[in-house]
Structure 1
Amino acid sequence: MGTSLEAILLDRWTELAGPLAREVGEDLVRRYSEPHRRYHTVEHLATMLAVIDDLAGDAADIDAVRYAAFFHDAVYAVDRADNEERSARLAEDVLPGLGVPSGTVAEVARLVRLTSGHHPEPADRNGGVLCDADLAILAADESGYAAYTSAVRAEYAHVPDELFRKGRAAVLQGLRQQEHLFRTPIARGRYEAAARANLAAELADLTE
C-alpha cells in the first residue's frame, strides 16, 4: 500500500489479526488516509501503537487494546458527534468474521466507545492504556504541540473561529478537570506535567 508508514501499519495489523485479515487491514489503513483528515491520520495511529507498545505491561488484554487502536478513529467525520459509536459498530461488524472471540469483540467495542470522553475507571487497565496512548500527543514538545493544534484546526476549517475556540476550550477544560490525565504509571510520569502545561497554554491562547 502507498507509503511505507501505511505498509508498516498493515504489517502491524496482519501480525495482530492474521494474514487472512489483510483486506480488512487495508480498509482500515485507507480510512486513516482519507483526504479530509489532518490529525486523525496514519501518523496518529502509528504513534498510538508505539505508545501502546511502551505501556503493554499495564494492559489486561493487549490484543484488545491494539484492535481498539486500529478501530478507534476508523469512522471520522468532523460534522458528526457519533464517530466513536460508528467506529465501535464497525469493529462489532468486522471482527467476528475474522474469528475474534465474542468477548474480545465486546471489549474492543467498549474501548473504542471509551475514547469519546477518555474517562476510564481506575481499575480499567485496558482503557487506561488506550486512553493514555490517545492523549499522549498532549505532552508533545512545543513544535509538536503546535503542529497538533494546527492539524486539529485544519480538520475544522469549516467552523468559524469564534465557535471553534469556544468548543475547543470546552474540550480542554474538561480534560484539565480530571484528577489525572493519564492512568498508567509510566504515562503519568512521562506525560502528565508536560500535557497540563500545554493545555494551560493553549487555553490561555483560546480565551484571551
Structure 2
Amino acid sequence: METLVERFRAAARAAGATAEDTDLEAAAAYLLTRWSEPQRQYHTADHLTAVLDVVDRFAGLAPHPERVRLAAWMHDAVYDPRALGDANERDSAEFAEGLLQTLGVAEDTAQEVARLVSLTAGHATGEDDPDGELLCDADLAVLAGDDDAYAEYTAKIRREYAHVPDDDFKAGRAQVLKALLELPSIYRLAPLREQWEAKARANLENELKRGA
C-alpha cells in the first residue's frame, strides 16, 4: 500500500512536476507537518487520507484526477480555526499555487489546482466542472457517515472550535448546516449523490434538530 508521501509524489508527477523525487517527497513531508498541527482535531492527515481515498475511488469521473488529488493535499494546508470567512481556503489556494510552481508544475496547472482549492470555501461549483465536483464531494463525504462516524466528526469539529463559547458555536454551526441543506444537492456527481445524499441530509437535519 502506498504511503501518503508516495501518493503525493505520484500525483505531482502526473500533474507535470519536474522536481527531483527527493524534492517532491520533502514537499509531501512538509505538507504532512501542516496537517499535523496541534490546533487540528478533524482537519488532520486522517481527513486528508479519507478525501484522497474518495478521489481514488471515483477518479474515473474526473478528467484530471491528478489535479484533484493535489487539491485535496492543499485544500486545508492552511488551517486556523480562528480565521474569518474563507481566509483559510484563500490562503491555502495561494500556498498551493506557489508550492506547485516551485516543484516544476506548469503555471496554468498550478492555477487550476488553486482554483479547485478555493471551491472548498463554499462547496459550490459551476456547470461542467467534474474536477471541482469530485473534490467537493470527497471533502463532504464525511457528512454521509453512519451514526457513530458522524458523531465522531461533529465532536472533533467542536474540539477544533473549543475557543468559541457554546451559544456562539451553536449559532455558527447552524448557519453552516443550513447552508449545506440549501444546496440543490450536497453531492454533485451522480454516483456519489445516489449513494450518499439521503444519509447526509438526514445527518445534517438531525444535528440541527438537536440544536447543533
TM bin (shorter chain)? over 0.9
Q: Aligned-pair distance for 1:125? A: 0.7
* CA–CA distance in structure 1, aligned partners of residues 101 and 127 of structure 2: 29
- C-alpha distance after superposition, 1:140-179 (max 9, x if no partner): 0000000000000000001000000000000010000011
- What corresponds to 1:122 in structure 2? 127
C-alpha contact (below 8 Å) 1:51/1:133 kept by paired residues: yes
Q: Are positions 1:70 and 2:73 aligned together?
A: yes
Any residues of structure 2 matched to 1:7-86 within 5 Å, and which? Answer: 8-18=3-13, 19=21, 20-81=23-84, 82-86=87-91
TM-score, length basis structure 1: 0.94
Q: Are positions 1:190 and 2:195 aligned together?
A: yes
- What corresponds to 2:160 in structure 1? 155
**Which SS does the other structure have where 1:206 is aligned?**
coil
- C-alpha distance after superposition, 1:63-98 (max 9, x if no partner): 110110000000000111200011011111111111
- The gaps in structure 2 that reach 5 residues or longer are 14-20
Aligned residues: 202
* CA–CA distance in structure 2, aligned partners of residues 60 and 121 of structure 1: 16
Aligned Cα root-mean-square deviation (Å): 1.3
Q: Which has the higher helix share?
A: 1
Q: Are positions 1:131 and 2:136 aligned together?
A: yes
* CA–CA distance in structure 2, aligned partners of residues 161 and 142 of structure 1: 22
Q: Aligned-pair distance for 1:35? A: 1.3
**Which SS does the other structure have where 2:117 is aligned?**
helix
Q: Aligned-pair distance for 1:17? A: 2.1
TM-score, length basis structure 2: 0.92
- Deviating beyond 2 angstroms after TM superposition, the runs of 4 or more aligned structure 1 residues are none
* CA–CA distance in structure 2, aligned partners of residues 122 and 52 of structure 1: 19
- What corresponds to 1:140 in structure 2? 145
- The gaps in structure 1 that reach 5 residues or longer are none
AA matched with 2:168: L
